[in-house]
Every structure is written in C-alpha cells, then in structure tokens.
Structure 1
Amino acid sequence: MKYLQIVNYKNLKSVRFNFSQGANTIIGENDSGKSNAVTAIRLLLDDSYYYNSKKLKDSDFSYDLGEWRGHWIIISAVFMDITTKDKQTEVCAEIVPDQENESFLKSYINSGNEDIGVVTLFIRPQKATRKKLYEAESKAEFDELIKAIKLSDYEFYYTSRSQTDFTDPTAYKSIVGDFELGSYCNPDDDDATVLGSKLNITDIQDHVSVMFIDALRDVANEMRKPRNPIRRIVEAIEARIDPVDIEKIKNNISELNLSISEVKQIGQIGVEINSKLMDMIGMVYSPEIALESQLNDEINALSRYLSIKPSNQNDIELLGLGHLNMIYMALKLVEYKFNRTRELINIMIIEEPEAHIHTHIQKTLFDNLKLTKDYTQVIMTTHSAHLSEVSEISKINLVKTRGNVSYVMQPIQNLDHFGESRLFLKNLRLSECIERYLDAKRSVLLFSKGVLLVEGDGEEILIPNMVKKGLGITLDELGIGLINVGSTVFEYIACLFDNDRIQRHCSIITDRDNQAVRDTSTFYSENAEKKGESRQKKLDGLFADNPWVSTFYATNTFEVEFSKFKDNSQFIRDIIETHYSQPAAIKRHIEALEGPDEDRANTVLTLADSIGKGWYATLLSSKINATVQIPDYILSAIAFACHEIVTTDIKLKMVMYSLSEYTESDVIIDMLSIARKAETVEEKEQAISTFCGTYPKDIVSLFIQKTDVVFLWY
C-alpha cells in the first residue's frame, strides 16, 4: 500500500498518508489520530475487523463537521508496483484501472508509475435518502431532511479503480454536494470513473493479510487461548513435518493412551460406573463401558498444548510486561512469516511497540522490524522519541492536531526538488543527507510544537536558561525544541518546515556579524562581516515566502548582544572577577565593560575567547537570575516559534512572574490574579489587553522587556 486517503473520519478531516516497503511509522502526540488511521486501514482491508452500518456511530464522523448527517466518510487505498504478471490474476485485474488518469498519477501520486490498484470504501447515506436530499426544493426542506437522517440510513459501499483525490474539497463537493447551499448530488448520476466500480470487498480481503497487534494486550492470557500464535505457527508448518516424525508421535501417544488405560485405579472407575448403570436401569438396558485414555494424536490438536516458558523459570507469567510483549511480538512475526499466503499484500500493524519496552530495546526492535520488508509491510504508530530517532525520514507520517482536526505531514515531500532547484545540489539527494544528519536530533524536530535553530554552543547553553530565569517558563513548557546546527548552514534543516512538509514554525537565530570593534582589534574581521551579509541575503531569499520559517539576526554576535544590557553587566562582571587573578586586569576589564560600546565588546569577546564560548555561556547560565535581559531578536524568535502554542494562561504566567520581581507592582499583581481566575478565555484576554493599555509606561517599563514575548501578540 503506497497511499491512504481518509476523509471525514473522526479527527482525520482530509488527509493522505504515504507508505513505503518495510517499516513505516505514524508519529504524533496522544489523541492526534494515529489509532484512527490504523482503524481506517482495518475498516477497509482487514477481514477480521467486522464493522458495518449497524456498528456505525455519530462519533465516527469528523469532529469538525458539526452536523454529520448527510456527509460521507471515505477511505481509499492506492497500491503501487503491480507488475504485468500481477495484472493477470483475477484479484489484481479487479482493482487496476482500465485506463490510467495521467493527471491523478502525476499530481496526486507524484509519479508517472502506472502500475497502480485502488480500493475505496464510502460510508454514505443509502440511495433513497440521497435521492430525497437531491430533490429538496429549498434550503429549508433540505435542512429538515438532513435532521431526519439516522445512522441506520447509511451504507458501506466498496469500489475499485477510482482515481480521484478525495482530499480535494472540490472533488468532495462534486460527488456529495454543497451543504451550505442546500444542494445534494443526484445518486442516479454516480460516476464510476470518479467513485470507481462497485466491488465485493470479500473478494479483495481474501487476498489481503492484515495482522493487528494492539498496544494494550494481556500477553499471558493471549498465550492461553486455543488459537494462540504458537498453534497458528504449527498449523502453518504441519504439512512440512516429516511423516516419519508424525507416525512416531502417534505411536507414542497410542502407547501412552494404553498405559493410562491399564492403570488399575483408572480401570476401577469403569467398573464402578458399570455397576451404577445396572443399579439405575437394569442389566438389560445397561451398556457396558470402559474408561480409556484417548489423547488426540493429530498434530494440529497437539499444538494447543505447546507452551513457552523461560529456561530458568517454570511459568511465563513470572516475566515482566516488557519481556512478555517482546516475546509476543516475536511470535506474531514468526506466525506472520509462515502464514503470509495472500498474494495482494501482507500488512502488519503494530500500535505503540514501545509499550513496556526499555529504550535501547525499542531501537533494536525497530531495526529488526525493518528486516520484514522482504515479505511484508509494517505500519507502526508511536509517540516514542527513541523510535522516531531510528525511523527513516522517508517513511514517517507526522500527525499534527489543530483544534478538532488533525493533519498529516511527510517530512520528505518534495525535499529533493528543493535541494536541486533552490540549493543547487548536484549528484546529491538532500533527503539522504538530512537522514544521516538528523539521527540524533530528529525527535526534537518531530515532536516539538515549534523549533529554534541556533548556530553555536553559546546559544544552545544560555538561551534555555535565559527563558527560564527571565520569563519564568521553560522552552519545554512552551513546546519549543532548540537545535544547535553546529554551523551557519541553517537552510538544510530549515527547509523541512514548509507547506509541503512539516507545518510548524521554525526560527533561525544567527549573527549578522557586523563588527562591534575597531579594525585595530584582534577580533575585527572584514571577512566575517561580508559572510554575515551574504548569509542574510541567502536566508531571506530562500525563506521570504515561507510562512513557517523566519530568521532573526543579532547585529553583532550573541556574546556582544547579551552584554548591551546594563542589567546583564553584573553577570559578566562576576565572571571577570572569577576568571582573572590580577587586580589590575580585573579593574581594566570592568572599566571597559562599563565604558564605550567598542571597549565593552572587545572585553566580552576577549573573555569569551579566553574561556571558550561554550564554557563562557555555561558560566553565564549559572550566574543569571530573574533580572536577566533577553536580547530582542531572541525574544522575537521565541514569539515566532510559539505562534501556534502560547495560551492565555501561559501569557499570564509570564507576566505575573516578571511582575513578582518588583515590589512596586503589587496592585498590578492583584489585578492579574483576579484575571487568572477568570472562567473564560475572553475575560482573561480582556484583562491582559486592559493592563497593556491602561497602566503608565513608567510602570510597565519595569518588566515589559522580559515579557516582550507576551506583548508581541497585541
């Protein structure tokens, strides 16, 4: 299965998942829609997952629809790489389009590959209901008919060969109707070239193997069931067992039955039963019976008595949940290997394989699951950062939620095209480069709600603590991930954030490197200034039209920008007094720190160079407190990365934290405390707006610098 379209199913309003051979991952936070995607696959292809209109619930429809009545749920799978030989089989011939739609192949599939097959499920009102809606003569009549629709009025309608992008709102309206206008499509005009040809889904499911491993499972209880994985494996290999071995087992069982039957006490039970029968019904009608052992000697019957246990323990239940889960998955993989007899596709779905499994074992498990690519397709859901680190970027579907609706993003989408057309890479695939680079940092990109890209150790060390001490909140609380790219080559990472790929805000924090010291200084570099100008021109050109990426520049360097604030001088002064031992040197540097801009910049750069920028940032991080002044370009970068994140409560928390540092602000704190207890978001927002617009600038100036992130929203 290459693509999966889902329309109007739970929180998946209109999405497309991309899959490849081998192990695929669906990554996202809790309740983002990962399990809904898995259920959609099972609804369409899994013959063991019985679900029809009798089980349909109104909660199955998209939460964003409001009124679900009359709407359709659409689940459509596109299979690729169907060979000419495959097309000769009846099952493949039934799903392969008679004539390929070139527009669909090139724009939707993004490929000229014509070897496709399509299976689609429409959960829609029955024809009679749709006909009534079509014949409605007014919007009022249409609305009344909509209100009268019941779940029992729906049907499950399967088709094949459809070549339609159902995630396109225009396409959806063309087959369903426009609810705002009160119009519905005529069911008599259903177009098979759009919807596909009617299909008996059992004909397809007989040739599809879907195995589902739930995240929540009682492994010990599963192993006691008659149809446990061990028995299924034995049944699959029964035909391969040497007949000589089977005959030997049967002879041994026959001898065992005879031995049991000849036990004196066993025979006596038979005598007692015969005696009791004669007492009850007399000698004429009483049958003579014998109590004998008759253990079944058939291999498939014996398999139910096979069990596994630890070599050093007598009971499998003595193992922990982690080991039980790993054993169970190993058994299911072996079972699947021997039972994958269906020729169209073999799909193994695993929900949260990280459940109860140690971090290092998670990674090993994932690597080993990749080996199944030769005989099956694995689709896993996860919110494990460890599994995301070993997932191939090209096989990741990232699920993001906004309100009641989830969106699916593929980090790899059109990435190589960007590398060729915008970065002018030759004989090099950008996707492969990023795959290798992000091995250790991928979880930050995939799980953060916003991202800060910084160029060095100083920013990586100091910025998180400046935010914590200066704003009273951590980057983790804001959902912001910070990545040190280790250079100024930001574009190779920032390009992941785009309408085509990851739709999350990414801030680039870098230096313009305008020289803050005289050309006689050791730190003066005309070349650095030229590189800074070139870097700004390049980044602005690459991302000017990208709503998800913005660059924020320090005029000079990070160390110099930090030193420009008077309140920050004390932290630097503490380091000077600690680092230098000669009183004259200490005095000279402190005077320079408090002197003209060039002298201050020269002293700071000398200090950072002497200590090492990383260690200098570490020392500063240990010195700063709530009075720390955060450079404006960094605050703006944080605000951009927080674009979809910061709530009113977070804003209030930052404001109150800053105010708490000043005794003059007691009245304001009392006012904001009342606002914080407000029951509605509107009341809280009004309180903040009133505060910003009412109080004199001299009062607000006491803390406004450290709460710029808050005020950037007003």
Structure 2
Amino acid sequence: MFAIGGRGAIMYVTALRAHGFRNLHGDYPICDPLSIVVGENNAGKSNLVDALRMVLEPEAGPSSRSRIWPEDFAHDGRGNVLADRLELEVQLGSLSEAEQARMVTCLAPSLGPGRARLRLHARLDPDGRVVPQWFGGDSSHPDVERHARAGVRYAYLQPLRDAVADLRPGRDNRLVALLSALAPLGHPDRDRLIEEANRANEAFGAIPAVEDAKSKVASRLAAMIGTGRFKQYTNLAFADPRFERLVGALRARIGQFDALEMAENGLGFNNLLYMAVLLAALADAPDDGVLRVLLVEEPEAHLHPQLQDLLMRFLEEEADGGTQVIVTSHSPGFASSARVERLTVIARPSGDARPVARAPRDFGLSVKQLGHLRRFLDVTKASLFFARAVILVEGVSEQLLMPAIARRLGISLPENGISIIDVGGVAFPPFTDLFGPGKLPYRLAVISDADGDPEAEELEGSEPSLSPRAEALRGREGDNLKVELAPRTLEWALATQAQVNVEMMLDALVLVKPKVTERLRGELEGADLETSADGLLEAVKDVKGRFAQELADLLDDDPREFVAPDFIGNALRWVTEEQGVDEGIGESDG
C-alpha cells in the first residue's frame, strides 16, 4: 500500500501554544500521525493552522513564509489591539538521537526527554512595525539555528482552493515537484524526456501545414524588421525541450470513463487529484530525516459523504512516519469517519471569545470506551463536536419533540448552538465519558427516564424512585454535566402536565391511529391525568416516532397553551445559560 511518509522521521508535532495571536490563548493538542481539528465556525481552526505556518518552515522555500501582520495581534473585534506582544510555540515529541543532534538548540528538557520546541515572539511597535524573534527550546536568548528550524517543514492546502489553477502548467505546478523528486539531476529519465520532446518537435515541424505556417510567420516578421541587426529566428514547437519546462507543461487529467481536462470536471474530484499530487510529492521528497507536516483546511470540500469517508479511511491507513497530517474540518460526516483519538475539538463555550481545545486521546478513556465511541459516532452524533452545548436523549421521540417544546418556551436551539443527540436507547456512557473536568468544555444535559417503581411513586409526597442505571447517571453530574429524569417516559410525563396536553396529544394521535383514538377519547372522558397518561402511553408505544412527528407539527401550529414538564424546561434553560462572559479576545477569522 502507498504510504504518505515512511522516510524515517520519528519526531512529530504534539501541541501548539499561543498567547496574543488573534483569538488563540492557551494550549492546543495535536495528534500523530493524523490530527483532525474540528469545531464550530469561528472557533479558531484556521487560526491554529496559520499559527503553525508562522512558526514552521514552508516546504516551498523561505519566499513563501507566512508573515506576522499588525492585525494578527489580539484585538477586541472593533480594531482595538489588546496586546502588543504575541507568542507562538510549536512543541515536538519523540525525537530520535539524530533528530536531537540536529535540533540541539531547540531541545526542551522542561517538557521531558526527547522533546523540543520552536518559539516565535513578536512585538508590535507604536508605528505599526512588527519585530519578530526566534527562540529554541528552554533558552531565553534568540539563538535558534535555521538548520534546526528547517528540521520541520510544512506544505499547505488552503480552504476554497482552486485545484485547476494550482495544477495549471507553469513553474509552480505541483507536478513539477513530483517529477523532479522522481527524476533528480543525473537520472536517465531526464535525458529520455528531452529526447522524446525533441523527436516530437521534429515530427511536428515536418508536417506541411506547420512548415507553411512557420514560413509565412518568418517572412512577415522579416518584412517588419528586416534581415539586418534586428533579424530574429522563428520556430513552432510543442515546448522548450528543457526538463523544467517540459514537466511544468504537464496537465493533470481526471475522469470516471476517460481522463478529462480538470476544467471540465467537478470540484470534488479535482480537489482529490490535487491532494493526490501533493501527497505523492511528499512521499518522494528527499530522505533527509525532515518531518514534513501537511496542513489541509476543509479536505471534505465539494465531496459527498461516501467520498469523505473514503478520504478519511485513506488518511487513517496511510499516514505514517515522516509526514504528519493535520486537517481542519467543520463536517460531522468527516469527523464521524475518524477515530475518536485523532480528534482535537476547539470550542468557544457560550459567552467566551477565547477558544478552548481538548483532545479525547487525553481523556483517559479505555480501549473499550474508545471502541464504543467509534461504533456509536455517526454523522448525527458527531455534531456534538461542533456544538456550544449538547442534550442527550433516549430516542427519536425526544429528538423530534425537544426542538418544538423549546420553541414553545421561546428557546431556539440552532441560535444557541445546541445539538440534540439521540443515543438510541440508554447507551449514555460512551458520550458522557467525553464530558467532565479537563474534557469537552461545554455543557451536556442528559434527559432520561427514572425507570423506577411506578407504584412507589404514587405515594403522596414521595420522590420518584430511581433505577440503578438512573442512579449511575445522576452520579456523573458535575460542573458541566446535568441529568434530568422523567418519572416514567416522555409521553407519560407530557400527558400528566395538563388536560390541554392530553387533548393535543389525542389530536396528534388521531392522525396516526384514527380508530384507536376514537375509542380512547371515549374511555378517557372525565379521567384523571395519570389515567389519561397510561392510556396514551399504551396507544403510542408501537408508533412513537410517527406520533412524535405529528405532535411536534401540532406544537408549532396550534395556539393552545401546551405545558412543558419541569425536567425538560430545566434542561433547556441550563444548556442555554451563559457559562461565564469574557470581554473578549479578538474575533476569529477561522
């Protein structure tokens, strides 16, 4: 199988530390050999990539280095600079002895054995001039060697890239780097390519129409400038028969049934072709022990879900020593295809402009827990990595009804960045394992059934009894995890709130089970709320999803005052509360 890397570089980037750079502040863990950085829009994903580009050496050479500009210093979103200094630090781990020798000025014993760091500090002078300084390791003196800095290089695929333009014939064509690596100076294929080009030019020039065209052009040029000191020679040929010009003229083509010009093809496959060219060039880069970091923003762009999954599988299987791949994404589909331990989640908890980064690999999860998450995380559930708060529910009924009930309470879940996740039963632990001290920083509410003894709950003044499972859930409560329990089921709880709830639920049920509803209306005439709830629960038990959809539609359209149970209102209000307002470290552009 093709491997992206495999050239022997052992070290890898473990983290980025940033202070005063745009909206970044703190530590941002990075996984090896593949790191998938996910999070909501404007969380800071692009800023993280840009920070890495500021510190690391570009594979394309110093001329393409990213510069620090005044607007990179932290600001309040209104143009007011909050700090006139910024610090960026890239931490490296697992350095071999040879790598430690090369990067001796970057070694950082304070981080541990086999660790190093590259640091970039910058000052913004009053006149707007930016003064950068480079540091290595634990040293407080700017004495890092360029040779050491060149030990880690990056290649970058920007978001909204134009694959057609980037693979257009020319000196900057990515294919030039690939062919130059495969046929270095002295390689016999260089001479063969030139010979074939000369032969093709000769055959082309011997065609009568070409000879005639060449003669007519030459005669008219001679008529214009004469045949004296300004005399010029003309020719018609395919290309200048020099290696660099020949490979620079290559065109990448792609198609399902025939290889088409890229301009005639779709954006998604063109992007895949572009990535394939770049990865091939990295794989055949010189065996110089350099760590090459591939930075890709939004690799899922223009790809349908199946292609996203295939791309992730490729990156998972082929990322290897020598090249570390760091990608950013805001696609739940792409995130759900990744192994959980590859993820770095950047979040901005409600009211706080500073992003916080967490990596599930650091959560202390067991192999069994990680396996559960891999099996359970589908596209819908992976949306929890892009939320500002999450509500976990047992089934599709709760998932369908919760947004409608929230709207009744004047709460917009999308505007608050709330994800409702249906865990498909009572399998909450794989997801609650992601929350807690040092884990995902936003709020999680769990809504479940108490599953206790209904007869015990009928005793006046008694608290709802809890099953061992519900007790275990309650035991997980903490600063950012709240558990709300229904006395029995959601449908039963809704019906026991008010007679108007019973009437609206019957109006929804008649659209699903008209005959059953007609009979039930007669049976429940004059019944108390709990009797009505029992009857409704029995009637909907085999059509919960359809009933929930009809009731949700009714809640959106019917003006009657539907009463929400306290446990639902408590959960909704809790996840939408501000978690601490910070006056602001600059707005993110990524």
Q: Under a length normalisation based on structure 2, what TM-score does the superposition of the two structures give?
A: 0.80
- Given the superposition, is the C-alpha separation of residues 117 and 570 from structure 1 closer, same or farther in structure 2, using an over 3 Å criterion? same
Q: Secondary structure at the match of 1:405?
A: coil
Provide Cα deviations, 1:36-60, integer angstroms capped at 9, x if missing partner.
111111110134466999x643321
Distance 1:322 1:216 in 2: 11
Distance (Å, rounded) in 1 between the aligned partners of 2:344 and 2:437 = 15
Residue in 1 that maps onto 2:8? none
Q: Are 1:75 and 2:52 counterparts?
A: no
How far apart, CA to CA, are the structure 2 residues paired with 1:278 and 1:224? 35
What is the CA distance between 1:414 and its match in structure 2?
A: 4.4
> After superposition, what is the alpha-carbon deviation per residue over 1:222-271, rounded to whole angstroms, capped at 9, x for unaligned?
2133220112211111139973x655554454455666777765578778
2:538 matches 1:606:
yes
Distance 1:548 1:51, change over 3 A: farther
Once the two structures are overlaid, the 10-residue window that deviates more, 582-591 or 315-324, is 582-591
Deviations 1:99-153, CA, capped at 9 Å, x for gaps: x23xx44xxxxxxxx221211111137xxxxxxxxxxxxxxxxxxxxxx83333x
What's 2:344 paired with? 397
Matching of residue 208 in structure 1 with residue 190 in structure 2: no
Structure 1 residues 563 and 646 mapped into 2: Cα distance closer, same or farther (>3 Å)? farther
Tell me what 1:500 maps to: 438
Letter in 2 for 1:479: G
Q: 1:634 aligns with which of 568, 577, 580?
A: 568
- 1:335 equivalent among 252, 262, 281: 281
CA distance in 2, matches of 1:576, 1:5: 56
**1:156 counterpart residue number:** 132
Deviation at 1:645, TM superposition (A): 9.0
Could you say if the C-alpha distance between residues 246 and 436 of structure 1 is closer, same or farther in structure 2, counting changes exceeding 3 Å? same
2:169·2:249 contact (CA, 8 Å) conserved in 1? no
Aligned residue among 6, 9, 15 for 1:3: 15
Per-residue deviation, 1:554: 2.1
8 Å contact kept, 1:573–1:590: no
- Take 1:356 and 1:471, find their aligned partners in 2: how far apart are those partners? 38
For residue 540 of structure 1, what is the aligned residue in structure 2? 474
* 2:116/2:137 contact within 8 Å kept: yes
Give the length in aligned residue pairs: 548
AA aligned opposite 1:37: L
How far apart are the structure 2 equivalents of 1:471 and 1:79? 50
Q: Percent identity, aligned pairs only?
A: 20
Amino acid at match of 2:353: V
- 1:534-592 deviation digits (Å, cap 9, x = unpaired): 3454333322xx2211111223432221112121121244467674748995466213x
Residues 1:570 and 2:508 aligned together: no
Q: Which amino acid aligns with 2:183?
A: E
SS in 1 for 2:35: strand
Contact 2:36/2:326 (8 A) holds in 1: yes
3-state SS of paired residue (1:332): helix
Q: CA RMSD of the aligned region, Å?
A: 3.9
1:121-270 counterparts in 2 under 5 A? 121-124=120-123, 149-152=126-129, 154-162=130-138, 192=139, 195=140, 198-200=143-145, 202-222=146-166, 223-239=168-184, 243=188, 249-255=193-199, 265=212, 266=214
The answer to whether the Cα contact below 8 Å between 2:332 and 2:379 also exists between their aligned partners in 1 is no
Instruction: Encode CA deviations 1:174-207: one digit per residue, 9 max, x unaligned.
Output: xxxxxxxxxxxxxxxxxx3xx466213x323433
1:463-511 Cα offsets, whole Å, 9 max, x none, are 233334x246653344221122233343432232234121111111122
1:28 corresponds to 2:4: no
Q: What TM-score comes out, normalization by structure 1 length?
A: 0.67
1:612-657 deviation line (CA, Å, top 9, x unaligned): 544543454455434222112101111111123999xxxxxxxxxx
Larger radius of gyration: 1
Instruction: Give 1:346's aligned amino acid.
Output: R
2:50 counterpart residue number: 39
Is the counterpart of residue 120 in structure 1 residue 64 in structure 2? no
* Counterpart contact for 1:416–1:430, Cα < 8 Å: no
* Distance change (3 Å), C-alpha of 1:393 and 1:64: farther
Q: Which residue identity is paired with 1:561?
A: A
Quick check: 2:55–2:119 contact (8 Å CA) kept in 1?
yes
C-alpha displacement of 1:349: 0.7
Please tell me the residue identity of whatever aligns with 1:542.
R
Counterpart in 2 of 1:452? 391
Give the AA of the match of 1:368. Answer: F
- Find the residue that maps to 2:91 and give its secondary structure: strand
Q: Which has the higher contact order (CA 8 A, sep 6+)?
A: 2
Aligned ranges 1:515-534 → 2 under 5 Å = 515-516=453-454, 532-534=466-468
Q: Does 1:349 align with 2:325?
A: no
- Counterpart AA for 2:490: F
Q: 1:494 to 1:596 in 2, by over 3 A?
A: same
Q: Choose between structure 1 and 2: higher helix proportion.
A: 1
| Mapped contact 2:74–2:82 kept (Cα < 8 A) | no
Distance 1:122 1:329 in 2: 32
444 and 273 in structure 1: CA distance in 2 versus 1, 3 angstrom threshold: closer
Are 2:449 and 1:511 equivalent residues in the alignment?
yes
Q: Distance in 1 between matches of 2:564 and 2:383?
A: 23
What is the SS of the residue equivalent to 1:339? coil
Residue 105 of structure 2 contacts residue 143 of structure 2 at CA under 8 Å; is this kept in 1? no
Match of 1:145 in 2: none
SS in 2 for 1:220: helix
Distance 2:69 2:337 in 1: 37
Name the structure 1 match of 2:75: 63
Is the alpha carbon distance of 1:583 and 1:630 closer, same or farther for their aligned partners in structure 2, counting shifts above 3 Å?
A: closer
* Residues in 2 aligned to 1:571 and 1:553: alpha-carbon distance in whole angstroms: 23
Q: Which of these residues, 532, 543, 550, is aligned with residue 482 of structure 2?
A: 550
* Aligned partner letter, 1:432: G
Q: Distance in 1 between matches of 2:200 and 2:550?
A: 79
CA distance in 1, matches of 2:491, 2:240: 82
Residue correspondence of structure 1 range 309-324 to structure 2 within 5 A:
309-310=253-254, 312=258, 315-324=261-270
1:303 aligns with 2:235: no
Contact 1:416 1:429 in 2 (8 A): no
Specify the SS of the correspondent of 1:7.
strand
The 8 Å contact of residues 73 and 83 in structure 2, kept in 1 or not, is answered as no
The Cα shift of 1:323 comes to 2.8
Equivalent residue of 2:360, what SS?
coil
* Counterpart amino acid of residue 30 in structure 1: N
Out of 381, 405, 412, which is 2:360 matched to? Answer: 412
Alpha carbons 1:577, 1:586 under 8 Å: kept: no
